[in-house]
Amino acid sequence: MRLIVENLACRRSGRRIFSRLSFSLGPGEAMMITGRNGAGKSSLLTLLSGRLKPDAGTIRAEGIGEATLPERLHVVGHRDGLKSALTASENLEFARDLLGHPAASPKAALEALGLPHVARLPVGYLSAGQRRRVALARLLVCRRPLWLLDEPTAALDLASQGVLAAMMGRHRAEGGLVVAATHQALGLEDASELRIEPPPPEEAVTAEEWA
């Protein structure tokens, strides 16, 4: 698939976060989103995932047939989407049945992340890094071409960061796309970088415009 973003602008609670963002990603390409805290990295990922409406501009995807873009992407963000009372493999089985296009089995996905021993443990017992790895294992249980990762290395140890880099490499070799918001090098080779700059100061908003 190909992801095309044109002239994207984002506004939250009336405040302009960024504007005039344009980029396009083809099969096997990766992009790192960088910028200061509060620049709108997570907002951009939320826009791409379809949970937020853009203020202006368009987000298109080519080559996904009749599916919509939210049905063809994976999101791993700060909120990991795991239920504390369910075990790691129950969480992954649920994600596989909900999202469709099953790929690896939950057991195999947990093994790939180095967590075979937690499969039967409730996720609530796991550490922050282990939870993050269970959330990343979701990327392997369903096949979806676009991965949106928000600070994927947060709470991960060095070995797991290497595993994640290898996962992203394999995904790109199979024609997948990766968009990651990050402050660190992720081991993404020849990834393009999109730096979100603060928007130009807005002309003073008058009361008439708000009315």
Residues that bind another protein (rule: CB under 8 A) add up to a total of 30
Q: Counting runs of H as helices and runs of E as strands, what totals does the chain give?
A: 6, 8
Nearer Cβ to another protein (85/185): 85
Nearer Cβ to another protein (15/101): 101
Q: What is the Cα–Cα distance from 182 to 189, expressed in whole angstroms? A: 15
Identity of residue 202: E
Rounded least distance, CB 40 to another protein, Å: 14
Q: Which of residues 35-74 bind another protein (CB under 8 A)?
A: 46, 49-53, 70-71, 73-74
Task: Name which position in 3, 10, 82, 168 contacts another protein (CB under 8 A).
Answer: 82
Nearer Cβ to another protein (181/191): 181
Identity of residue 41: K
Q: Token digits for 86?
A: 């369910």
Which residues, 6 or more positions from 97, have their beta carbon under 8 angstroms from its beta carbon? Answer: none
Task: By CB under 8 A, tell whether 81 contacts another protein.
Answer: yes
Task: By CB under 8 A, tell whether 85 contacts another protein.
Answer: yes
Task: By CB under 8 A, tell whether 90 contacts another protein.
Answer: yes
Across-strand partners of 12? 15
Q: What is the Cα–Cα distance from 183 to 202, expressed in whole angstroms? A: 27
- Residue of 1, 77, 28 lying closest to 190 (CA atoms): 28
Nearer Cβ to another protein (98/159): 98
Question: Interface with another protein by CB under 8 A: which residues?
Answer: 46, 49-53, 70-71, 73-75, 77-86, 90, 93-95, 97-101
